[in-house]
Structure 1
Amino acid sequence: MDSDRDPEKNLSAYIDRNHALSLTCVHEQVAKADCECPLYFISNIIRGKYMRKNLKKLFSYYKPYMGIFVADMFFAFGAAAVSLVIPLVVRYITSEVVYWGSSQALHTIVQLGVFMLVLIAAQCYCNYFISNYGHVMGARIEYDMRAEIFSHYQKLSFRFYDDQKVGQLMSRITSDLFDITELLHHGPENIVISLIRIIGAFVIMINISPRLTLAAFALVPFMLVYAYVFNKKMKRAFRMNRVKIADINSQIEDNLSGIRVVKSFANEEIENEKFKKGNDGFLDAKKNSYRYMGGYNAGLTAFTTAITVVVMLSGGVMIARGKGNITDLITFLLYINVFTEPIKTLIDFTEQFQNGYSGFERFMEMISVIPDIKDAPDAQPMQEVKGNISFENVSFHYADSDQMVLNHVNLDVPAGEYVALVGSSGAGKTTLCSLIPRFYDVTGGTIRVDGQDIRNIKLSDLRNHIGIVQQDVYLFAGTILENIRYGKPDASREEVIRAAKEANAHEFIMNFPDGYDTDIGQRGVKLSGGQKQRLSIARVFLKNPPILIFDEATSALDNESEKVVQESLEILAKGRTTFVIAHRLSTIRNAQRILVLTENGIEESGTHAELLAKGGIYQKLCEMSNLS
């Protein structure tokens, strides 16, 4: 068979490319595949394979807490056993004890009453242990999983985040994990308690009266079929719920992050309408799932009542015909709740399983994404970095596009040189600089630092020796001190202050009542653009790297702020290998070398004066900027 027509090969390749397909996506791919083989059978094989793999991974989270888990199961067994014993004691009292002499019967009933109180106390403690320590176990598992996925987020590259929504990623680390751990905590104990009660009740009842047992369990198969039918529908509904709530989270995060833009354009109503569409979609998905849940609950209640009625009628007929007695009927009526309640629990477990497992599928989809930029097995640390950088026949294009952003670029930058990059938007200036710290990997060629291929250098070492000042400064919620110290987490307060002085930031910082302990708000909203930029420069001063990248660091500032920030940048750049992406050409006229980038690569190279003398692209850019 031609490989292009081989569904199994196509499907396997599809899974390998995506690393972590959800089962829903597998079925969608199968449905779309163009071949003549029984694809549904193949999809089920793959579905089973991945489900087994996922469940094995899911159960592995119990391993550190196996002691608590075993204790939880033990007390679950105890709670179930008590519920089976009490109806037997009641049957013994009603069938035997009440017919004894009054004094002996009274004495025995009191003893049995004390015994049942002890059983109730034991059951109470069992339920307490399950609810308390079992939930703590679930919380610890949730803690471990949250730490795992957050750590994994830190390993993923810019390429991954280019295609993601923050709200979607947040959903996987919050609501998904809660449902997963609820399943991991309640799932096993619910199954243990339910099976013990159902099987135990069945064994006890069949030994008392096989006919009444048959009557009591006659409707159970229909109940299970009913549950199975709704189970398939609920799985689809719950998965859609997750997609919708993740969309809403993403939309809320987007709105709140850009709330100042929203208000500046007075577009609150537009945002409300956008949110209403997403919220309506979520409500429709919820309505759909609640319709199935309503059918579950209504049907279950009807079955439970019907079982009671069947037992009552069957028992009445048997008593009337002299083939039964009232004691057995009372016992059976007590046991109806004992085995119908766990049936309800098992049915509810299907809902819990759908919630938890669909969340775990999404969790595994994310965990299984392989970072495309990581340390090579033989990656080496950097020793005594000078800052010589060379691009050797470097090409690059983004994963979702075949169009080259950089094409066969060759460039040598000696240590300590100040290089400026200019050119039209989209020429690849930011991309070229993003390749140096390996935010993206080259698709062709090699970049070397001090003669060493950066792909053979430990990522942490490489990035620790590169300082970046961007146009869009990101400051974290917290104090000024904490934000500057981000450049060197173990820096002393004196080192932070020295870095702030070098960045021309100390004066404005001390004008705040709390100085370096001033809380700057979310993303530094309490600071001006120039102040935020100087804090970002102070971070780099504190880091003290030999290689610098300034990505249009002053283009969004007013003239006064630009002058102060530019002065800070010039001080910072002394003695370091520096790349400056320039929007305002006035800021780079003193650069040792200016590179003019176009879609064809580096078109021109030289000093400001040399490039003006050539009368080429740079001269035209200067004329457009009224710079000579």
Structure 2
Amino acid sequence: MKKVKLDLGGIQKLKKYIKKYYVLIILNLLLATVSSLVSSAPIALIKRLFDKGIAGKSEKDILYAAGAMIMLAVVGAVLMYWNTIFSTVISSSIYKDIVTDIYNKIQTLDMEYFSGKKTGDMMIRVMTDPSNINSIILEIFDMISEIIKVGLCLGIAFYIDFDLTLGVMVVTPILIITVRRYAKRLKRSGKHRQEALDSLNSKLQETLSGIRIIRAFATEDYEINNFKKKNANLKKIAVRSARYNAKANSIMEAMNYIIIALLLMFSGYRVLRAKSFTPGDFITIVGAISSMYTPARRAMTRFNSISVNMSSITRVSEILEEMPSIVNRENCIKFENFVSDITFENVDFKYRDSTEKILKNINLNVKKGETVAFVGNSGGGKSTLVNLIPRFFDVSSGSLRIDGIDIRDYEIKSLRKAIGIVPQETFLFSGTILSNIKYSRRDATFEEIVEAAKQANAHEFIENLSDGYNTEIGERGVKLSGGQKQRIAIARAILENPQILILDEATSALDNESEKLVQDALEKLMEGKTTFVIAHRLTTIENSNKIVVIQKGEIKEVGNHNELLNKNGIYKALYNKNFDFNVKS
């Protein structure tokens, strides 16, 4: 018969963290052993209490046995206290290390990794899964203590009467089979529970982020029903898991009474027929076997709990073992000053898990100080193209060079510090306006921050706020309008003073008044910089040095505004369509 065992493959993945606290763990296991020994020792005194003290009418033996039991109870309580403290220190330390490592790992992963992940799922992997691992470690420590207690009680019973104890334990294989059977089911159920929780959490995250859209389209009922289905699925899995637990516990409960019944029956016969088997032996062996039940049941319950949460170790390991492909090359050089040009040469790009090329044979040269605008239909590859410059993605083939050097040979952080990005969907951090502007330069003075805000046409509205630059803007800047958020983002970019600038449809979501303020701020930001502009509104890019028309991942036309109009090609059609739209609006 196979032995009941933990999923050591899962525990093995925690080896790095366990080794760090090896001394504490060994000390804690020793404490657990001594604590279990002390708490089980009073059972051994029962025989003396009954046979010598009560049956022998010896007050000395009664006082000795009772006094020893009291002393052992006090010592056991102290040991148990420190055992619990040590267990908590070890588990919480490992929890802290895992959460820190996951967060650090997230900071290194490629953008492509996040494009395929839901925020809710990532939140669970960062917070809930490590918490489950914390529980696993605590449960293992407690389970070890329970197993030691079971072993000591069983040892005392065997010492008193080996044959009787062996006969009573004939039902033990049934318990082992029960634990093995339901542990596997609970482990599967735990995995399904985490997946259902991921789905529910992702839906909640999505709802909170898109609450305005839900209100706008009056789809509250649809979202409520969708959430109900996911919540019901989680409940179904929880009930199934509880059913497995209930069955296992019921069988263990029944086995306990069967063992006690057999013990009382066999012991009763032994008292009547065996002269050497004393009432003290009877009470001791009954006490030992009975005392086994509670720790045995707790150990099995803890084992089931560990089985349910074991999938969390795998899920955490998946993140920690993920290796980024965009990393610094050996002997990479620090990017300092942009001198001459940026060159795309025969550039192709596709996602790792896809065969479809997003960009195809891109050839383009951009001189220092030039403004290059990308136009074309949505999904054509414009944003993907500019995302290659700060190495959010790497080319699949061909090369992208700055000043004649492949950008993969530059140190990543120094390259990105030289590039400023103002996206269409501005992201601001919770906190103050001041902290958001200085995010690009943590050492900036207040005077420099104010100057950046003035250039971004943001100073006036900031000053009119209740707390000025110290105004709390809420999560993602929810207390500000779109134009205000965009101007703070521009101030942030101005403060950074990048050498290369990427404007990704920075004014497309604004009203006319806000757009004029933002456009004026952008023009100040663009002065003297090499700028890449993506825009649907062609009127914002007419003065660009180069306009690049991209369709289906390919460059179709390149030239300035007048040159492309004279070609009577794709750009002119886009321009006429946009012009007609602006006139009608």
Q: For residue 52 of structure 1, report the CA deviation from its aligned partner.
A: 5.9
TM-score for both structures, normalised by structure 2? 0.94
How far apart are the structure 1 equivalents of 2:322 and 2:258?
Answer: 50
**1:469-527 CA distances to partner (integer Å, 9 max, x unpaired)?**
01011111111111111111232322222211111111111110101111111111111
Identity %: 37
Q: For residue 80 of structure 1, report the CA deviation from its aligned partner.
A: 0.8
Q: For residue 384 of structure 1, report the CA deviation from its aligned partner.
A: 2.4
Q: Residue 306 of structure 2 corresponds to which residue in structure 1?
A: 353
Q: Residue 177 of structure 1 corresponds to which residue in structure 2?
A: 130
AA in 1 matched with 2:40: L
Do the aligned partners of 1:238 and 1:355 also contact (CA within 8 Å) in 2? yes
AA in 2 matched with 1:544: N
3-state SS of the aligned residue for 2:440?
coil
Do the aligned partners of 1:387 and 1:576 also contact (CA within 8 Å) in 2? no
The reply to whether residue 60 of structure 1 matches residue 41 of structure 2 is no
Q: Residue 509 of structure 1 corresponds to which residue in structure 2?
A: 462
- Determine which of 247, 258, 264 is the counterpart of 1:306: 258
Q: For residue 620 of structure 1, report the CA deviation from its aligned partner.
A: 1.4
- Determine which of 39, 47, 51 is the counterpart of 1:95: 51
AA in 1 matched with 2:36: A
Q: For residue 603 of structure 1, report the CA deviation from its aligned partner.
A: 2.1
Residues 310 and 471 (structure 1), Cα distance of their counterparts in 2 relative to 1, 3 Å cut: same
Q: Residue 84 of structure 1 corresponds to which residue in structure 2?
A: 40
Q: For residue 189 of structure 1, report the CA deviation from its aligned partner.
A: 4.4
3-state SS of the aligned residue for 1:527?
coil
Q: Residue 122 of structure 1 corresponds to which residue in structure 2?
A: 75
Q: Residue 385 of structure 1 corresponds to which residue in structure 2?
A: 338
The reply to whether residue 538 of structure 1 matches residue 530 of structure 2 is no
Q: For residue 82 of structure 1, report the CA deviation from its aligned partner.
A: 1.5
Q: For residue 321 of structure 1, report the CA deviation from its aligned partner.
A: 2.1
Unaligned 5+ runs, structure 1: 1-47
Q: For residue 53 of structure 1, report the CA deviation from its aligned partner.
A: 5.9
Q: Residue 213 of structure 1 corresponds to which residue in structure 2?
A: 165
Q: For residue 398 of structure 1, report the CA deviation from its aligned partner.
A: 2.6
Count of residues in Structure 1 that have an aligned counterpart in Structure 2: 575
Q: For residue 300 of structure 1, report the CA deviation from its aligned partner.
A: 1.1
Q: Residue 554 of structure 2 corresponds to which residue in structure 1?
A: 601
Q: For residue 60 of structure 1, report the CA deviation from its aligned partner.
A: 2.6
Do the aligned partners of 2:336 and 2:414 also contact (CA within 8 Å) in 1? no
Residues 600 and 363 (structure 1), Cα distance of their counterparts in 2 relative to 1, 3 Å cut: closer
Q: For residue 148 of structure 1, report the CA deviation from its aligned partner.
A: 0.6
Q: Residue 275 of structure 1 corresponds to which residue in structure 2?
A: 227
Q: CA RMSD in A?
A: 1.9
- Determine which of 123, 143, 146 is the counterpart of 1:190: 143
Q: For residue 231 of structure 1, report the CA deviation from its aligned partner.
A: 1.7
Q: For residue 591 of structure 1, report the CA deviation from its aligned partner.
A: 1.2
How far apart are the structure 2 equivalents of 1:490 and 1:190?
Answer: 51
**1:33-87 CA distances to partner (integer Å, 9 max, x unpaired)?**
xxxxxxxxxxxxxxx9xx7665333133123323332232122112210132101
Bigger CA drift: 502-511 or 356-365? 356-365
The reply to whether residue 292 of structure 1 matches residue 244 of structure 2 is yes
Do the aligned partners of 2:550 and 2:557 also contact (CA within 8 Å) in 1? yes
AA in 2 matched with 1:106: E
Q: Residue 26 of structure 2 corresponds to which residue in structure 1?
A: 70
Q: For residue 278 of structure 1, report the CA deviation from its aligned partner.
A: 0.6
How far apart are the structure 1 equivalents of 2:531 and 2:270?
Answer: 96
How far apart are the structure 2 equivalents of 1:320 and 1:600?
Answer: 94
TM-score for both structures, normalised by structure 1? 0.88
How far apart are the structure 2 equivalents of 1:84 and 1:401?
Answer: 62
Do the aligned partners of 1:386 and 1:546 also contact (CA within 8 Å) in 2? no
- Determine which of 189, 193, 214 is the counterpart of 1:241: 193
AA in 2 matched with 1:274: N
- Determine which of 472, 477, 481 is the counterpart of 1:524: 477
Q: Residue 582 of structure 1 corresponds to which residue in structure 2?
A: 535
Q: Residue 363 of structure 1 corresponds to which residue in structure 2?
A: 316
**1:344-383 CA distances to partner (integer Å, 9 max, x unpaired)?**
2331232132134211011112211221222222322113
How far apart are the structure 1 equivalents of 2:104 and 2:553?
Answer: 39
How far apart are the structure 1 equivalents of 2:418 and 2:8?
Answer: 44
How far apart are the structure 2 equivalents of 1:130 and 1:454?
Answer: 55
**1:224-256 CA distances to partner (integer Å, 9 max, x unpaired)?**
112112122222111111111111111111111
How far apart are the structure 1 equivalents of 2:290 and 2:395?
Answer: 67
- Determine which of 425, 437, 444 is the counterpart of 1:472: 425
How far apart are the structure 2 equivalents of 1:125 and 1:68?
Answer: 18
Q: Residue 434 of structure 1 corresponds to which residue in structure 2?
A: 387
3-state SS of the aligned residue for 2:243?
helix
Bigger CA drift: 459-468 or 108-117? 108-117
Q: Residue 367 of structure 2 corresponds to which residue in structure 1?
A: 414
3-state SS of the aligned residue for 2:356?
coil
AA in 1 matched with 2:503: F
3-state SS of the aligned residue for 1:575?
coil
**1:505-555 CA distances to partner (integer Å, 9 max, x unpaired)?**
111111101011111111111111100000111111111110000000001
Do the aligned partners of 1:183 and 1:356 also contact (CA within 8 Å) in 2? yes
Q: Residue 544 of structure 2 corresponds to which residue in structure 1?
A: 591
How far apart are the structure 2 equivalents of 1:426 and 1:242?
Answer: 34
Do the aligned partners of 1:73 and 1:189 also contact (CA within 8 Å) in 2? no
AA in 2 matched with 1:59: K
How far apart are the structure 1 equivalents of 2:167 and 2:444?
Answer: 77
Matches within 5 A, 1:130-145: 130-145=83-98
Do the aligned partners of 1:84 and 1:200 also contact (CA within 8 Å) in 2? yes
AA in 2 matched with 1:67: V
Residues 67 and 305 (structure 1), Cα distance of their counterparts in 2 relative to 1, 3 Å cut: same
**1:569-621 CA distances to partner (integer Å, 9 max, x unpaired)?**
11101111100001111111111221112236222222222222222222111
- Determine which of 259, 262, 276 is the counterpart of 2:211: 259
**1:244-279 CA distances to partner (integer Å, 9 max, x unpaired)?**
111111111111111111122222111110001111
Q: Residue 26 of structure 1 corresponds to which residue in structure 2?
A: none
How far apart are the structure 2 equivalents of 1:89 and 1:319?
Answer: 19
Q: Residue 566 of structure 2 corresponds to which residue in structure 1?
A: 613
How far apart are the structure 2 equivalents of 1:587 and 1:134?
Answer: 63
Q: Residue 112 of structure 1 corresponds to which residue in structure 2?
A: 65
The reply to whether residue 625 of structure 1 matches residue 578 of structure 2 is yes
Bigger CA drift: 402-411 or 242-251? 402-411
How far apart are the structure 1 equivalents of 2:470 and 2:223?
Answer: 36
Q: Residue 230 of structure 1 corresponds to which residue in structure 2?
A: 182
**1:324-351 CA distances to partner (integer Å, 9 max, x unpaired)?**
3322121112112332233223312321
3-state SS of the aligned residue for 1:96?
helix
